[in-house]
Amino acid sequence: MKCSTFLSTRDGHCYYRTTMFRSLPRARAFARCLQANPRFRAVSVKEATSGTGWHVIYQPSSQARYAELYYQQYRQRELKGAQTEGRCYRFELVTRGTDAYYLCQSVSKEVYDVTECSCSCPDWTYRGQKSGIPCKHIFAYHRAVAIQEIEALTSVRIRLQTARNALYAAALKTSFEQRCAARGLDINADF
Ligand SMILES: [Zn+2]
């Protein structure tokens, strides 16, 4: 039986998924075999999204094997984001007050809001947040920062905050000078 692996949108955990069974009794029979085997756990039968059959999904009982599955899902996204298609993404900085994020245009022309630890894409929204595995756009952001193609958001935020602080300081100074002038005080005099 050939199996693929996937990250569940339901619980953010990694699973093996069998190829599709056309018959539900056969899928159930296979699931019972897996349930009887101590090497597997979390066995269940799920209807295929196409509605034309059933998959059996399950996890390895061994923690080491589970870690391999998890790393496989992590690595797939890292490869796409940091090494293959991520090189073609375009980033455009958006600032709002003292906060900032990037608009990331992927190869499929979809545009997502990306920061160093979040993304508005479905993979991050439905899987990444639950599993802790960054999506390919987040990996692409970190690559672009590492090669200095874009400015790190932490540094953008500090720059914005510094500029705002300077504005406040200037406004305070002006107001202080005006109040002194109203009382006939010379702020340049030696006190
Ligand atoms: Zn994303």
If DSSP states are collapsed to H, E and C, what string results for 38-98? Answer: CCEEEEEEEECCCCCCEEEEEEECCHHHHHHHHHHHHHHHHHHHHCCHHHHCEEEEEEECC
Q: Is 0.85 topped by the overall pTM? A: no
Retrieve residue 175's tokens.
């107001």
Ligand 1: centre distance to CA 112 (Å): 7
Same domain, 117 and 138: yes
Ligand 1: centre distance to CA 117 (Å): 10
Ligand 1: centre distance to CA 141 (Å): 10
Q: Provide the pLDDT confidence category of residue 22 given band limits of 50, 70 and 90.
A: very high
Position 174 in a domain: no
Domain count, the chain: 2
Same domain, 92 and 126: yes
Ligand 1: centre distance to CA 113 (Å): 8
CB distance 123 to 110 below 8 Å: no
CB distance 43 to 58 below 8 Å: yes
Q: Provide the pLDDT confidence category of residue 191 given band limits of 50, 70 and 90.
A: low
Same domain, 143 and 91: yes
Position 95 in a domain: yes
Ligand 1: centre distance to CA 118 (Å): 7
Ligand 1: centre distance to CA 42 (Å): 28
Position 191 in a domain: no
Same domain, 81 and 136: yes
Q: Provide the pLDDT confidence category of residue 185 given band limits of 50, 70 and 90.
A: confident
Same domain, 40 and 95: no
Residues in the chain: 191
Domain boundary residue, one of 11, 39, 61: 61
Ligand 1: centre distance to CA 147 (Å): 20
Position 171 in a domain: no
- Residue 162 DSSP SS3: helix
Which residues are registered as beta bridge partners of 102?
Answer: 93, 114
Q: What is the pLDDT of residue 2?
A: 80
Same domain, 53 and 124: no
Position 30 in a domain: yes
Ligand 1: centre distance to CA 160 (Å): 25
Helix%, strand%, coil% for the chain, nearest 5: 45, 25, 30
Q: What is the pLDDT of residues 64-99, one digit of tens each?
A: 999 999 999 999 999 999 999 999 999 999 999 989
Q: Which residue range is the domain that position 95 belongs to?
A: 74-153
Same domain, 78 and 52: no
Give dist(CA 181, CA 173) in Å, integer. Answer: 12
Position 24 in a domain: yes
Same domain, 148 and 97: yes
Q: What is the pLDDT of residue 111?
A: 97
Ligand 1: centre distance to CA 29 (Å): 38
Position 124 in a domain: yes
Sign of the Cα torsion 12, 18, 19, 20 reads negative
Same domain, 41 and 85: no
Tally of CB atoms within 10 A around 173: 11
Same domain, 100 and 49: no
Q: Provide the pLDDT confidence category of residue 187 given band limits of 50, 70 and 90.
A: confident
Ligand 1: centre distance to CA 189 (Å): 59
Same domain, 34 and 13: yes
Position 175 in a domain: no
